[in-house]
Structure 1
């Protein structure tokens, strides 16, 4: 079964419809929320959303990988990734459905 991608437009449309708000304003608010999430992750390295979960920036150190085509060893440079851990409330809500 293909995974459904929830777009920003769909989220802002749902917000606008549920609270009887102009669509363009709902989109502006959504964009500001997402921007603040990015700022929080960049500044603090973590972001916690109550009753939803927490996002954390993790640093991956350099390591040796292997090119699957040639089998040759390749140095993979250090990078940052984002991990997400769901709250118990979110997990419980999903398991009930």
Structure 2
């Protein structure tokens, strides 16, 4: 039996990446990861803010993908989100497409 792998999955996060929104976001990410993508892109263009729990979700998603030789990319985080990721030193680990 072979398991199919998705080459690329893109999700748009348009709510705050904060503790009380994470259950729904985590469910979407888990569904995406169940497809074993080689690359997961989270579009943060309209994500207003992030807290420590949101950063931890991104880092754990990165670790899960990395363990299966996949990659996580954060696309176009807002200036606020990018700054908070920088303060947490998450930009040293996470791939950011800030264009």
Do these two structures clear the TM 0.5 threshold for a shared fold by scoring above it?
no
Higher RCO (C-alpha 8 Å, min separation 6): 2
Q: TM-score when scaled to structure 2?
A: 0.29
Compare the two structures and name the one with the higher strand fraction: 1
Greater CA radius of gyration, 1 or 2? 1
